[in-house]
Structure 1
Amino acid sequence: MVKELKNPCHQIEKAREDLIQELSQNMHLYGISESVGRLYGTVLFAHEPVTLDEMSQSLGMSKTSMSTGMRVLSEANMVEKAWKKGVRKDLYQPVDDWYKSFSTTFVKRWKVSVVNNLQAVHEMRDTLLDIEQHQELNASEYTAVKADLHTLEQAEKYYNWLSEVTELFESGQIFELIPKK
């Protein structure tokens, strides 16, 4: 019985496709859709700058969708435009600094979350303090207000801490504590 030899090119493509599939399924963590994740994977493994036309052939996406996707990836610092002599179309390549991509994307999301959640905490606290000061409360209502105020105090401490964490990422100081590999 003769053992069938596998084509290395097919194995490489299959390995790339498997990783691109996994990456694209997890892009929601960055607020990025799966289709845009596939676009990123295509750019990542192109190993040279590519045009929208070249990506369109391999992905079957419209140029409009790909252009929108590239804008999303560019805003997340995951891809950038490249230049090549003699090429008039836009070329794209992955950004080499994955740490910067992570920081840009997550800091933006965390900052919005912190601001919105702190605002909600402050509004609820003001409401509870107003109720406590201007309404007659029975024992269980008073206990509920005090318990909620304690919970809000803990929430505010957490969101202030998270704000400090985002500042570490935004300033790059995080890499002094945990160096890039």
Structure 2
Amino acid sequence: MADAETARERVIEGFERSAEIYGLNRSYGRLYGIVYFAEEPMSLDDLADSSGFAKSTVSTAMTELERLHMVHRRSMPGEGKRVFFEAERDFWRVVQQFLDQELRREIDTMLRALNEAESILESADSERAANDLERVRQLQRVYAQSERFVDVVTSAPVDRLRSAIASIDELLERR
């Protein structure tokens, strides 16, 4: 039993470090790890007890993890309005949701700014403006390609993405 607990703790510590990599508090990674290994959905009280964190910390973390599609809020029969959480264990779904919501928002923001800049630069008459216009158009192409990539990845069924990655892995192994 101790071996399983030790192994589980190593993974949870990995989630803590991963949270830091993405600019989140380590507590978010720990809480995700606890929910990830839970047999059943956990309440805020359960998570506070398991983690040793204050209930307010747990609530804030779970709200952010829910926004990132890493956990799902559940209600349980006979529990009234008490909220429970369970982990999303399919990381492809997490990636799809992140790309669809977060990256797409960045792409839209940048494409609007680049289109406005292009309009301004097209009417300017200087060598600097011409150079800047070329740089803006390069960025437009990159963001347009990124938008197409996000469209493909977010619209494809997860099983198809896994199959595509497996095919790419096979191609790379043959090299």
Q: Identify whether the pair has TM-score above 0.5, normalized to the shorter chain.
A: yes
Q: Please name the residue that 1:43 is paired with.
A: 35
Report the alpha carbon displacement of residue 29 of structure 1 after superposing the two structures with TM.
6.3
Report the alpha carbon displacement of residue 87 of structure 1 after superposing the two structures with TM.
4.1
**CA RMSD, 1 decimal:** 2.6
Q: Please name the residue that 2:93 is paired with.
A: 100
Q: Please name the residue that 1:91 is paired with.
A: 84
TM-score, length of structure 1 as denominator length: 0.75
How far, CA to CA, are the matches of 2:106 and 2:65 in structure 1?
21
Higher-Rg member (1/2):
1
User: In the superposition, relative to structure 1, how do residues 176 and 12 fare at CA in structure 2: closer, same or farther (>3 Å)?
Assistant: closer
Q: Percent identity over the alignment?
A: 25
Report the alpha carbon displacement of residue 30 of structure 1 after superposing the two structures with TM.
5.8
| SS in structure 1 of the partner of residue 53 of structure 2 | coil
Residue identity in the other structure for 2:153: F
Aligned residues: 164
TM-score, length of structure 2 as denominator length: 0.77
User: In the superposition, relative to structure 1, how do residues 174 and 152 fare at CA in structure 2: closer, same or farther (>3 Å)?
Assistant: farther
Counterpart pick for 1:157 among 137, 141, 153: 141
Is 1:122 matched with 2:106? no
Which structure's relative contact order is higher, taking Cα pairs within 8 Å and 6+ residues apart? 1
Question: Is the contact between residue 99 and residue 154 of structure 2 (CA under 8 Å) also seen in structure 1?
Answer: no
How far, CA to CA, are the matches of 2:32 and 2:21 in structure 1?
14
Question: Is the contact between residue 30 and residue 106 of structure 1 (CA under 8 Å) also seen in structure 2?
Answer: no
Q: Please name the residue that 2:169 is paired with.
A: none
